[in-house]
Structure 1
Amino acid sequence: MIDHTSPSMVSLNPVKRTPDQLYNNRLYGISRFLWMRQIYSQIQKVKQHFQNFLSPQVYDINSFSWFSGFDIETCLAEIRETAVSLNLQLPLEIVKEIFDYACQTSCTEPKYPHRFWIDQVHQGSLPDGHSVVRALVDEPSNCPAIKQLIHDPILLEIVHRYLQYRPNRITAHLTWSIASNLPETEIQKIYPPTYYHYDIAGYNFMTVYFYITAVQDEYSGPHIMIEKSHLHKPLALLFSGRHPDDLVYRYYSRQQERIILGNAGFGFIQDPSCIHKIKPPVNNHRLLLQLRYS
């Protein structure tokens, strides 16, 4: 176990705004409409074209990729049709580097004022008795492997071609979902992503996900999504942030529900305007890396 001094567990340690809060712009709400996301993409495409013509700027893209040979054309076709493309894979040594960073770095939880470390969480609680269902690892972009991924040329090419413009913002999110014996209905009250929902992370956006811990069954915290829901949503779902399963099943076939499983290092690219959720882990904490582009 890592020996942590714990001033943050005793005295108030101010917590900076989380990356999630950076997206809390009410104007982004108009991106719930597909036509708005498409218009924004076209505006950015034209704007960047003239910016590059008048004042060329070098976009920070690495020359090396861990995904050499990945089929970009097939990936783009799959995302456009279903909202997701699978089968990215990180090398095991990179998975270990990210996992070790998450274990050795302090975490925060929304609405909890103290920092903590993941090995201080036992049976869903911190030493002060506070129940915790997720832990946001501080400053994930300080991890060299994650920094490399942020500037990966294959990922950036996919994002550029799907959004039709170079992303103006890239953020990294490294999140522990805490294993719990609480009923799922109780977890949903304090962990909103366990409800079906869709993301609003800018005026247009997409996300790359990597399982840093293996997710091989429904008890490991799988990402679950409704295929093709990025293309159409009924009004009953369009203006609500949380959707019970039975409401989603009224409008979408059960055959469209996709449970995404994978070994440690498995990755997928998604248009997160689709309807999706996390299944709360039961047996072990789940560690997920997200790269958000907008």
Structure 2
Amino acid sequence: MNSVIKEKRLQRTLGRFSSVRRLHGLVSTLHQIASNDQDHLDPKGQASSVFGSLDVEKMAHQIRTDGLALGLRLPESLRQGMAQFGTTAPVKPWGAKEPLPLEAVMGGKLPTGEPVAVAESAGIDGCPEAAKVIRDPKMLLLAKRVLGYNPRNIEVSLRWSFPTHLSLTEHCNVDLASRWHYDVIGKNSMSLFFYILKGDSDLDGAHATILKSHRKKKISMLFRPSTTISEAELISYYGPGQVVIATGEPGDGFAEDPNTFHRAMQPISSPRLVLLVRYT
């Protein structure tokens, strides 16, 4: 008799424990649903976006389909703020240990005489205009639609490209981004580009992309020591009609899947300043 009573008491205790566990699980689930950083929630404040007329769904579809979507435009006040920052802040050439005054490298050479093709503005965290763009609600929503989740990381840089007065082959040895390549970042990523300052030529420092190449690659393109590839091989496989060069006036921008084959055009006559944002 005593063993029967003990067993019933044990069952009641386990039942209460199970109910508590179910209640705890329900509370935990409700907490996750209510959490602001859950992926099922879209970024708030869409009405406050500086890209007010942008159709996010249409642009996201185009990025997923073609790997590239043109048509972004910065408010002039933000572009001017970034132009001011980019022309006054020190810059750090790729591979350099310390920042230098912009004037020291504007001619495409380091003070030592070595060629320099690319340099990034130092202290970009101190540029409020750049911060406003990368955290804009519609840009965050666009990233979510492309990635499939709210972005975990955001990288940003103001990037100068300079004429080096080298041959294309020599320039590509200094600036690897001027070779045709795709970026190996992870499963999902999206890049934003905004032209902040441009020089005399539309092609100086412009960006070239091969449409749909983010989804269509030969096996031999994937299994090689480098992601760089010759233009002749790309044109032979994709055709010349798939190449898009985004020239752009100051303030113009576009979004891209960096798994596309793309390259930075070599500046010939004048430098260009670009805002580059990457969501992963």
Give yes or no for the alignment of 1:281 onto 2:267. Answer: yes
**Worse-superposed segment, 166-175 or 56-65:** 56-65
Aligned with 1:290 (options 267, 270, 276): 276
In structure 2, the partner of 1:204 is 188
Give yes or no for the alignment of 1:248 onto 2:234. Answer: yes
| Aligned mates of 1:52, 1:247 — CA distance in 2 | 52
In structure 2, the partner of 1:118 is 102
* Residues 218 and 234 of structure 1, relative CA distance in 2, 3 Å threshold: farther
* TM-score (ref. length: structure 2): 0.81
TM superposition shift of 1:247: 1.7
In structure 1, the partner of 2:172 is 188
Give yes or no for the alignment of 1:268 onto 2:247. Answer: no
Aligned positions of 1:117-266 closer than 5 A: 117-214=101-198, 217=201, 219-239=203-223, 240-266=226-252
* TM-score (ref. length: structure 1): 0.77
Gaps of 5+ in 1: 1-49
Contact 1:215 1:264 in 2 (8 A): no
Give yes or no for the alignment of 1:70 onto 2:57. Answer: no
| Aligned mates of 2:69, 2:277 — CA distance in 1 | 15
Contact 1:215 1:262 in 2 (8 A): no
| Aligned mates of 1:52, 1:236 — CA distance in 2 | 47
TM superposition shift of 1:219: 3.6
In structure 1, the partner of 2:14 is none
In structure 2, the partner of 1:97 is 81
Contact 2:108 2:162 in 1 (8 A): yes
Give yes or no for the alignment of 1:56 onto 2:35. Answer: yes
Contact 1:215 1:222 in 2 (8 A): no
Q: Which structure's CA Rg is the greater one?
A: 2
| Aligned mates of 2:31, 2:57 — CA distance in 1 | 25
| Aligned mates of 2:229, 2:85 — CA distance in 1 | 34
Contact 1:126 1:132 in 2 (8 A): yes
* Residues 52 and 119 of structure 1, relative CA distance in 2, 3 Å threshold: farther
* Residues 253 and 281 of structure 1, relative CA distance in 2, 3 Å threshold: same
| Aligned mates of 1:246, 1:52 — CA distance in 2 | 55
| Aligned mates of 1:62, 1:119 — CA distance in 2 | 40
Equivalent residue pairs, number:
246
* Residues 241 and 153 of structure 1, relative CA distance in 2, 3 Å threshold: same
In structure 1, the partner of 2:70 is 86
Contact 2:93 2:120 in 1 (8 A): yes
For the aligned residue pairs, the C-alpha RMSD in angstroms reads 2.2
TM superposition shift of 1:212: 0.7
TM superposition shift of 1:218: 5.4
**Worse-superposed segment, 145-154 or 244-253:** 244-253
* Residues 122 and 291 of structure 1, relative CA distance in 2, 3 Å threshold: closer
Gaps of 5+ in 2: 1-28
| Aligned mates of 2:165, 2:99 — CA distance in 1 | 23
Identity score, percent: 29
Q: Which runs of 4+ in 1 moved over 4 A?
A: 58-63, 215-218
